[in-house]
């Protein structure tokens, strides 16, 4: 039996140690440089203050021009390429832009409009058009699907920023600096095995990552068992050492004993990030449509965009983007400024936050026959916390306080509701809370005592990564020697 343990570990290692070394090295890069994305704060910081002089057509006209047969999932008024535009999103469809001055639905973005959007993003930097793409190295994210195809514009700024402009609305939807692009070649792009995409393997990419991770987990588990079996606690070997190996084999043995368990948890949690075989998908996903209390339509919003901007200005709040939001059947206009702050307007009154009772009523409508408990969180906890902006989900604003709603349904569903905008931030049921343990905790050590004590978290992650590199690089050398 022992012989088979050695053989399985050896031949799996020859095939998989290279992937492990790439994962550990690229993981360290990802601690500080994330996959390119345009964060909400960056988006707002590059917008001018909304100027509605001689503007705008009413919301009803904009909705009719965009798509009279469907209700949008979101409505925003923003400045695109120097002009105000209604930006509408539809579930499962492409985003739509309507010229706020003429009420005309805009067609596909051409290269002139793309360059104009780039000039709005940075008026001081010369811009060069780089062509149309459906998907490339820095735009594999499915979040961009509603904006494809994408227009690329290169800015001649200090950061060497490459902009991606929506082919549907003309808005800038992604920026990637030269530093981000360079480090990502050995960071997230490598870590997520994105080199396998775009070469005809896109349909197999998910399964390739899953089964490579599964094989690597099994290999590391076998290696840990063998390492313990070969370590002599009582009687040393003739050499006087507790390990029978020398050179790279000794590094591999001792490194595996010190870091093997952590390597197993890291590879396994990486496997869990792919939601293999849909283990974290709910059998009966919670339908949250009732939280909104209806469809987005003009009748729910008596104030016009001009009136909303004027009321916010009276309060000293300079709006850069306006959003229409429906909560429990009541319409609210949400203003965003350049720093990411928000204000709400309802019935002519400007609010900093929504009353808890308003969100409680809207949340109860999701499951009206189920008992509900709600609490206001004033500090972060294990299930609601902020991450650094470069991390995978760090761009999502996790403001405090936040409202947590718990339902006594079979899935024990939770909702997190933003008191500042009324936005439904997410649904957590039992499978998703399991993912919080098996992926987020084990893979990136999202544990508040560490996250709140940086650089302790950094030291912990880097030391563990070095340990993983010792195991995998020594394994590569041993594997190459065996093959040779």
pTM for the whole structure: 0.93
Nearest to 171 by CA among 263, 262, 46, 319: 46
Instruction: Say how far apart CA 67 and CA 56 lie, in whole Å.
Output: 18
258: exposed, middle or buried (C-beta count within 10 Å: 0-12, 13-18, 19+)?
Answer: middle
| pLDDT computed for residue 238 by the predictor | 83
**What one-character-per-residue DSSP string does 356-385 give?**
HHHHHHHHHTTSTTS-EEEEEESS--SSS-
HSE toward the beta carbon, residue 326, CA cutoff 13 A: 21
Q: What is the pLDDT along the chain (484 residues), one digit of tens a residue?
A: 778 888 888 888 888 999 999 999 999 999 999 999 999 999 999 999 998 888 889 999 999 999 998 999 999 999 999 999 999 999 989 999 999 999 999 999 999 999 999 999 999 999 999 999 999 999 999 999 999 999 999 999 999 999 999 999 999 999 999 999 999 999 999 999 998 887 767 778 899 999 999 999 999 999 999 999 889 888 888 888 889 999 999 999 999 999 999 999 999 999 999 999 999 998 888 999 999 999 999 999 999 999 999 999 999 999 999 999 999 999 999 999 999 999 999 988 999 999 999 999 999 999 999 999 999 999 999 999 999 888 888 888 899 999 999 999 999 999 999 999 999 999 999 999 999 999 999 999 999 999 999 899 999 999 999 999 999 999 999 999 888 8
Give the pLDDT score at 197. Answer: 81
Q: How far is CA 150 from CA 138, 165, 277, 385, 402, in A?
A: 11, 6, 32, 33, 35
């Amino acid at each position: 039996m022992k012989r088979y343990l050695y053989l399985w570990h050896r031949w799996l290692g020859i095939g998989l140690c290279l992937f492990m070394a790439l994962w550990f090295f690229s993981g360290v890069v990802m601690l500080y440089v994330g996959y390119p994305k345009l964060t909400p704060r960056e988006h707002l910081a590059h917008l001018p203050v909304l100027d509605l002089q001689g503007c705008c057509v009413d919301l009803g006209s904009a909705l009719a021009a965009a798509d009279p047969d469907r209700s949008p999932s979101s409505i925003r008024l923003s400045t695109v390429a120097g002009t105000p535009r209604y930006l509408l999103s539809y579930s499962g469809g492409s985003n739509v832009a309507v010229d706020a001055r003429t009420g005309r639905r805009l067609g596909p973005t051409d290269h002139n409009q793309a360059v104009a959007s780039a000039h709005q993003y940075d008026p001081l930097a010369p811009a060069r058009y780089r062509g149309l793409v459906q998907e490339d190295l820095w735009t594999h994210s499915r979040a961009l699907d509603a904006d494809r195809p994408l227009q690329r514009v290169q800015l001649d700024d200090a950061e060497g920023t490459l902009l991606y402009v929506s082919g549907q609305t003309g808005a800038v939807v992604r920026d990637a600096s030269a530093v981000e692009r360079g480090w990502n070649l050995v960071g997230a792009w490598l870590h997520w095995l994105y080199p396998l995409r775009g070469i005809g393997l896109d349909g197999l990419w998910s399964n390739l990552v899953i089964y490579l991770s599964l094989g690597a987990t099994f290999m590391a588990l076998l290696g840990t068992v063998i390492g313990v079996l070969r370590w002599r606690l009582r009687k040393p070997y003739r050499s006087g050492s507790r390990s029978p190996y020398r050179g790279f084999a000794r590094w591999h043995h001792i490194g595996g004993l010190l870091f093997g368990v952590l390597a197993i948890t890291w590879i396994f949690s990486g496997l869990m990030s792919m939601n293999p075989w849909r283990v974290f998908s709910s059998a009966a996903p919670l339908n949250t449509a009732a939280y909104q209390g209806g469809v987005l339509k003009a009748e729910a919003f008596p104030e016009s965009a001009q009136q909303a901007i004027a009321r916010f200005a009276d309060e000293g709040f300079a709006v850069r983007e306006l959003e229409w939001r429906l909560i429990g059947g009541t319409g609210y206009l949400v203003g965003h400024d350049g720093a990411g702050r928000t204000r709400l307007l309802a019935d002519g009154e400007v609010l900093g936050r929504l009353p808890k009772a308003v969100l409680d009523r809207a949340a109860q409508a999701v499951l009206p026959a189920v008992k509900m408990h709600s609490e206001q969180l004033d500090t972060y906890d294990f299930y609601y916390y902020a991450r650094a902006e470069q991390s995978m989900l760090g761009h999502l604003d996790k403001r405090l306080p936040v409202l947590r709603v718990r339902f006594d349904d079979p899935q024990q569903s939770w909702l997190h509701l933003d008191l500042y905008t009324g936005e439904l931030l997410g649904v957590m049921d039992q499978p998703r809370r399991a993912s919080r343990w098996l992926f987020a905790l084990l893979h990136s050590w999202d544990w508040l005592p560490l996250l709140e004590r940086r650089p302790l978290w950094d030291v912990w992650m880097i030391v563990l990564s070095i340990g993983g590199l010792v195991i995998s690089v020594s394994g590569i050398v041993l594997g190459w020697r065996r093959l040779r």
